[in-house]
Amino acid sequence: MPFAILFCTLLFSLWFFSVKANIAHVERLTGNGTEQSPLHIEFVSTGFFGYDHHEPTSLSYNAPAVTTGLQRLRQLYPQHRWTSTFITDPQSPSCPFMPGNVYFMLSQWYYSRRNSSRLSIIVTPACTEGSPMNEFAGAHNILLITSAAADLEIRDRQRSPTWLSTTPFASANAVFCSLLNNLNWTTVFASLDSQEKVVMYHAYAFMRVTTKLTDCGVLFTASKTSYSDDASVRQTLGEFNSKSRVFLYFGQPLGLRILLLAATELGMTKGDHAYLAVVPWSSPAFGYFTWQLNADDDEKVKEAYRSVLLLSLVDEEQYGSQSVRNLAQEWVNISRTAYNNTELPSELAVIEALARNGGLAVGDNGKMLADSIRNRTYPDLQAGLWRISSIGVVLHNIQLASFDWEDGQLKVFMKATEMDLRVQGRETYIWRKTTSKPIWHGRNVLPPAVPVCGLDGAACYSGNHRWIAQAAGSSAAVLVALTGIIGVFAQKFQVQRAVWWILEPQTLSTRNGKASINGSRV
């Protein structure tokens, strides 16, 4: 199982290592040798098992993080006992089935199998069932930590008093709004590869981004295109060129390659246009954006990649350390050899909560435990520094890369840090450049977003722009054959330029019976 697929399980272990940090903190606070009564905590994970790389939230991928976290804490704090329980249901074999069944699964465990003398905590990846899980956990005052699902309601402490999220990658819509505002790109063209059959993330991100752009002051045109159809790709590029110079691409690397080859033929990879792709993080599941396929057109694609930007919704450098790679390999080994048994006894401690409160009250104390974790920084985790916001979500670091011609790779030139501050209901990021080297066709400046012909197309009446020249060039053979007519057209063109402000009736007609406006449409 590749390291990148295990990325979400890395976050899944945050709870264990944060508890380790809490314990050290409490030992410094108490320091009086007072012994606490041993705790018996039940650790509950809902989900399904199965090795399908399209289902990274499967417990088959995430359970190894539970094992390693509990094993290491057991070695450090053997006086406490923890029971780990995995709850599955034959009616929920994959993500789409979980939202409708998870409340029943938790209820069945709570009223039939749960031991009331234990402290119960729900830690699970979750697909899209965060909302019903939150409803159950809040009603029963149980701490809930999800490593994949994070709904907007988590930001409401009244509705989500016990829910925390360690979702590893940032929200695409919030990041795009922040990035586009930071670069002063006020008009963009967004396109989804409609041939995407496997990776649903791109369709999800496309929907989230295009429904939020207007809220952050960005005009956009949205399009779904079959990137296997050359004619559709060229039509999309033509519309893009008239609307913007910034192309937001949602799809696999192969579709971007096809797009770039078509754009090269139209002269749209010379630095005037930017093609911005997005991935949660680089992995086989989402594809690697590269020009190198050992194909005949590699060099042409390499040249076109100078017009590509790649947005990663994590800071991938943070997870490239040797300690993280060693941990990932340990998870790989466990995944290959274990988890025929879904009831694994383990031990863990929640010492800090005890130290702060002088002992735990009867019950699961979910709200109190969640409050003790929120709004804190954990500097010494195996995955590096982690920050939990005041609403209980991870504050993310993200990166933006451009193409380095000398190295032939996409290299990071900007990073952003999420702040524990919301402006107009949106997450906020602080952006900074990480290099002084040229980042764009030998320059340090990205192109503006306004289309080369202007928002109204008037700039191309000068006849000097490349796009107009290409349109004329495609008809050159016909014009040469009709040399007598050329003079007539030239004379008419001069007259039209002299009275450019007069609108002829036919120019007022709408395309396809609908007005064409520069705004948000799908």
What residues contact residue 134 under an 8 Å CB cut-off, 6+ apart? 144, 151, 153, 154, 159, 160, 162, 163
Distance CA(482)–CA(513), nearest Å, equals 34
290 and 409 co-located in one domain = yes
Domain count for the chain: 2
What is the 8-class DSSP label of residue 281? S
In this structure, is residue 189 part of a structural domain? yes
252: domain CATH number is 3.40.50.2300
Range of the domain at 222: 172-313+396-433
Strand partners, 146: 124, 165
In this structure, is residue 501 part of a structural domain? no
240 and 356 co-located in one domain = no
Distance CA(203)–CA(8), nearest Å, equals 20
In this structure, is residue 515 part of a structural domain? no
Question: What tokens were used for 79?
Answer: 């006086």
The pTM of this model reads: 0.72
135 and 206 co-located in one domain = no
In this structure, is residue 61 part of a structural domain? yes
Q: How many residues does the chain have?
A: 522
> Of the residues 361, 388, 415, which one is the last residue of a structural domain?
388
In this structure, is residue 502 part of a structural domain? no
> Of the residues 359, 388, 417, which one is the last residue of a structural domain?
388
Residue 173: strand, helix, or coil: helix
**Matching residue, tokens 């080297």:** 437
Per-residue pLDDT tens, the chain, 522 aa: give them.
333 333 333 444 455 544 544 444 444 444 444 555 677 777 888 888 876 555 667 777 777 777 776 777 677 667 777 778 888 888 888 888 888 999 999 999 999 888 888 878 888 888 778 889 999 999 999 989 887 666 677 878 888 898 888 777 788 888 999 999 999 999 999 999 987 555 678 888 899 899 989 888 999 999 999 898 889 999 999 999 999 999 999 999 999 999 999 999 999 999 999 999 999 877 777 788 999 999 999 999 999 999 999 999 988 776 655 666 666 666 666 656 655 433 333 332 333 444 444 444 545 567 877 777 777 776 666 566 777 777 777 888 899 999 999 899 999 999 999 988 766 666 789 999 999 999 999 999 999 999 888 776 666 665 444 444 344 333 333 333 333 433 434 444 443 443 333 344 444 444 444 333 344 444
205 and 237 co-located in one domain = yes
403 and 326 co-located in one domain = no
In this structure, is residue 1 part of a structural domain? no
296 and 413 co-located in one domain = yes
267 and 409 co-located in one domain = yes
Distance CA(305)–CA(274), nearest Å, equals 10
Distance CA(208)–CA(240), nearest Å, equals 20
Distance CA(518)–CA(379), nearest Å, equals 47
245 and 287 co-located in one domain = yes
Contact 314, 169 (CB under 8 A): yes
Distance CA(246)–CA(253), nearest Å, equals 18
97 and 64 co-located in one domain = yes
Strands 409-423, 426-433: pairing is antiparallel
270 and 417 co-located in one domain = yes
Distance CA(465)–CA(72), nearest Å, equals 65
267 and 416 co-located in one domain = yes
In this structure, is residue 403 part of a structural domain? yes
**What is the DSSP track for 76-98?**
H-TTSEEEEEEE--TT--SGGGH
Distance CA(303)–CA(518), nearest Å, equals 31
In this structure, is residue 513 part of a structural domain? no
346 and 403 co-located in one domain = no
